[in-house]
Structure 1
């Protein structure tokens, strides 16, 4: 059949799924902390439901010997994002407090890399890359792509994906392992749409499991 310069829309090839984790990949688990779980001062609806799917991805990356990065908000008690300092949020994830601890049941391997962010009183930081050295760390490891899940879709996950793309990293968003704060009802959907517009690829465990 002679080559065609354009395929009709009905014959356009289906988009391919991103390949499974391998060399050059890292998993970044964003802020799955007690204060963001139901009952916490800055609760994400169903935030606890990211733990089980994240554990599956963590196990997969462990099996393959790939880098694991866990981020956490690690705020001073007078952080600029808190209401008392004129910020938008109630106090949360204060460094060393139980609320700043990782969610019960989340598997954090001993060899995982821990990234603390938002640790300066006068600087707000949503992205895992902001002021943490994460970009340079991933570069040293030879990482070209990150898989991202955690809390919350419309803030720290989105900001992390945005910065990763700006740094030239490919990004896979684990759609079954993210949840939104949704200050406005559509914030979560809008954040996912923006991540896709930035070039991130969506993935769920059903597409990974045999």
Structure 2
């Protein structure tokens, strides 16, 4: 090992000190940054979904047999509305992102188009009081429910449908996923997300304090896909 004189050693320590201070400043900057996320999806209050099998292509080109939720009929709209060529296929992974407003009465109809050997299927909506039918005008659940009783939710047999309704009372991002054989069906791809946009008054989306309204484009010119401040 070569000899390092005292002056060189002091200079090396100084450089290391400056590097450490720079690293600490960069880390503090990263911690203070606000993350933004893109979440395009389908809008409305009535969603007609299917559960079916298909093959999905992985980034490395491998095709994998999977199950997924998708749109059985065309949705009422997309968000953001400026997405070019927007479509909602009959099967995708994750399932389509459902975008609703706080206070909306949401109705989801699920048709079981999975292979007959897969048996029943269903959807759970954690965080919401769900009725397995269309809600009464007063918000109560009718006596006659759809689907067949399952362990956690109402289920649709092969080739049949089940309807779920709930009030989107809690703003935020929520999950939905199969409540039937979850250890199998969720792993196969039966899951998705619901975004409940906060409202300041009926029909309008609130911008939280300290946030700005969604712009047409981001500063770098890319489309602004955020659905809340």
TM category, shorter: under 0.3
Relative to the length of structure 2, the TM-score reads 0.25
Relative to the length of structure 1, the TM-score reads 0.26
**Structure with greater helix share of residues:** 1
Greater C-alpha Rg: 2
**Structure with greater strand share of residues:** 2
Q: Which has the higher contact order (CA 8 A, sep 6+)?
A: 1
